[in-house]
A and B are shown apart, each in its own frame.
Chain A
Amino acid sequence: MATNVIAGKTVNVNEEGYLLDPKEWTIDIAHEIAKEEGITLTQKHIDVINFIRDKVLSGETLSMRSISKSGIITVKELYELFPGTPLKLACKIAGVQKPASCV
């Protein structure tokens, strides 16, 4: 287990930079991780991040379908907001584990 200082706070991270404890997450950390990934967070990003955190912290499995059905964002927008690897990137910024679902 490694620690990293993000936005002035020491947090536990895995080797890929995902936060190990979602409770250590703050919005400043989100902005900092996003910046490292080349993303400037907008309100839309934050809405998605909050949705992911709610879902994961309540113990539900995150899937593309749940995001698509949330009404917050379309799948196309998700790819635009978090380019490349949308679900992984959004989870990383949201301070939760890498999604464990195949869908």
Chain B
Amino acid sequence: MEKEEFPLKKVCIICSKGSLETVYPALVLANGALLEGIEVKLFFTFFGLDAINKKFNKKIHTPVVGNPALRLPGNIPFPTLLGILPGMEDLTTAMMKQTMNKLDIPTVPEFIEYINAGGGEIYACKLAMDMFGVKRKDLIDEVKDVLTVGEFYAKCGGQGTQIIFI
């Protein structure tokens, strides 16, 4: 019997944290899916809401405390105690963003623009918004809707669909 193949048709990506290393994978996966002709639903919840918050989406940072994989150039370990110094997070993030810029990796607002242009749908979590006192007007215009978890799941149906939680 010939093996049946079920190609990926839709990805539903949940971004649940507001740090650079969570927001970027979500955006890269979303944009990459659209470029392959795969449908995308992107759901931002909890601290992930920062990525679609007008006030904070240009300020997504790399955590410098409790991040054992963080190293200085030349693979020098970055001690957590150093991370508590004022400005350390800004500095580390600036270095990271410089490298990313060189590699032509889009910024968060650029990624959102590409995803929107490619027909990817961006949603915000109602519960998280209530918890953090975030209003619809605080969110970027590209957000299609504010959804409950049930409403989001309703959009995740169909053969060839995968949910990715980050």
B-contacting residues of A (Cβ < 8 Å)? Answer: 61, 63-66, 68, 74-76, 78-79, 84-88, 101-103
Contacts and interface: CB of A to CB of B under 8 A. Distances in A.
Contacts of A75: 113-114, 117-118
B2 interface: no
B117 A79 contact: yes
A64 B114 contact: yes
Contact-residue bracket for chain B: 10 to 19
A74 B116 CA distance: 12
Q: Is the interface of A mostly helix, strand, loop or mixed?
A: helix
Interface string B97-132: 000000111100010011001110000000000000
B117 A76 contact: yes
B110 A85 contact: no
Nearest to A101: B104
9 nearest CB pairs, A to B: A76-B117, A75-B117, A63-B104, A84-B37, A85-B37, A65-B104, A75-B114, A65-B106, A79-B118
A103 B32 CA distance: 7
B45 interface: no
A65 to B, nearest CB: 5
A93 to B, nearest CB: 15
